[in-house]
């Protein structure tokens, strides 16, 4: 079973595509997904729970929900059913939506990402607090440590290799990570957090890996966008590139806040 992300999900609206043995129309995936008005889904990720085992990948969803009920009404086809549960992470099992493990503390999970820290692929969840959790196979393990305040949060995360091996990069609105000063963006590798220079002066909303010279000698960089106007002490209007040792602006930058990043081949090679 394969799932493809198409869009973010806001109150009462879910957009997704699923490839499975029966036509997707049988399951009635429409804007009438029936999510309760108090619930927001911020991210979803296809994750293989048993690695090389026989189980297919499952669709895991994250958002708000602790103390609230996720109410789903996906009963327009023979493979679907209504369901409801309380929590901030759920899993779509084809027949119904179910809670995914013991829900991490905090009322919002904003991002899910699969990352292999050298011990095998694992699912990571991050969000308000700020917070970072790792799914051990049976429970959610907290990794962030001391939090940065009730308004602090992780907005998104991605896996990037800056030349020293794959690491998990998280951006958002926070002053520290695991007790280490990290201004709005951090790197998690080897069980420890580290800053990216002096960081960003204001929150970042999205990060992505992009190789701006293709087959050329310059390695792929980590690109960030958001509210910030200074990156690593350098003026950078809402977008900047981390090269592994320092930040650099992208020309004059953007004239307003960037909210998402993606890489696309427009027929002339990859573009950010």
Predicted confidence at residue 49, as pLDDT, reads 84
Structure tokens at 117: 């820290």
Q: What is the C-alpha to C-alpha distance for residues 229 and 250, in angstroms, rounded to an integer?
A: 12
DSSP string across 89-104: EEEE-SS-EEE-SSPP
pTM of the entire predicted model? 0.81
Predicted confidence at residue 58, as pLDDT, reads 83
Q: What is the C-alpha to C-alpha distance for residues 113 and 124, in angstroms, rounded to an integer?
A: 5
Predicted confidence at residue 51, as pLDDT, reads 83
pLDDT tens, N- to C-terminus, the chain (272 residues): 333 443 333 333 333 333 333 333 333 333 334 444 446 778 888 888 888 888 888 888 888 753 344 444 433 333 333 445 556 787 776 656 677 877 666 568 899 999 999 999 999 999 988 889 999 988 889 998 766 666 789 999 999 999 999 999 999 999 999 899 999 999 999 999 999 999 999 999 999 999 998 888 999 999 999 999 999 999 999 999 999 999 999 999 999 999 999 999 989 889 99
Predicted confidence at residue 29, as pLDDT, reads 38
CB 199 within 8 Å of CB 206: no
Q: What is the C-alpha to C-alpha distance for residues 184 and 196, in angstroms, rounded to an integer?
A: 9
CB 231 within 8 Å of CB 240: yes
Structure tokens at 97: 């939506």
């Amino acid at each position: 079973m394969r799932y493809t992300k198409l869009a973010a999900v806001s109150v009462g609206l879910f957009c997704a595509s699923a490839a499975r043995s029966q036509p997707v129309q049988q399951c009635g995936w429409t804007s009438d997904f029936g999510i309760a008005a108090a619930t927001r889904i911020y991210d979803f990720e296809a994750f293989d729970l048993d690695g090389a085992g026989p189980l297919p990948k499952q669709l895991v969803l994250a958002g708000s929900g602790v103390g609230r009920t996720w109410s789903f009404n996906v009963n327009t086809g023979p493979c679907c059913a209504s369901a409801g549960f309380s929590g901030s992470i759920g899993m779509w099992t084809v027949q119904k939506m179910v809670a995914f493990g013991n829900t991490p503390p905090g009322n919002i999970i904003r991002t899910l990402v699969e990352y292999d820290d050298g011990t095998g692929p694992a699912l990571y969840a991050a969000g308000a607090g700020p917070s970072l959790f790792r799914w051990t196979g049976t429970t959610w393990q907290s990794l962030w440590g001391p939090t940065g305040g009730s308004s602090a949060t992780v907005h998104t995360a991605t896996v990037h290799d800056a030349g020293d091996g794959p690491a998990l990069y998280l951006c958002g609105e926070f002053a520290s990570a695991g007790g280490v000063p990290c201004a709005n963006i951090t790197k998690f590798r080897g069980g420890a957090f580290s800053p990216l220079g002096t960081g960003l002066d204001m929150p970042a909303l999205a990060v992505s890996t992009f190789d701006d010279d293709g087959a050329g000698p310059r390695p792929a960089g980590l690109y960030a966008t958001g509210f910030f106007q200074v990156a690593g002490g350098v003026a950078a209007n809402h977008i900047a590139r981390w090269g592994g040792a320092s930040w650099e602006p992208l020309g004059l930058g953007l004239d307003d806040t960037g909210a998402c990043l993606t890489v696309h081949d427009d027929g002339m090679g990859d573009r950010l």
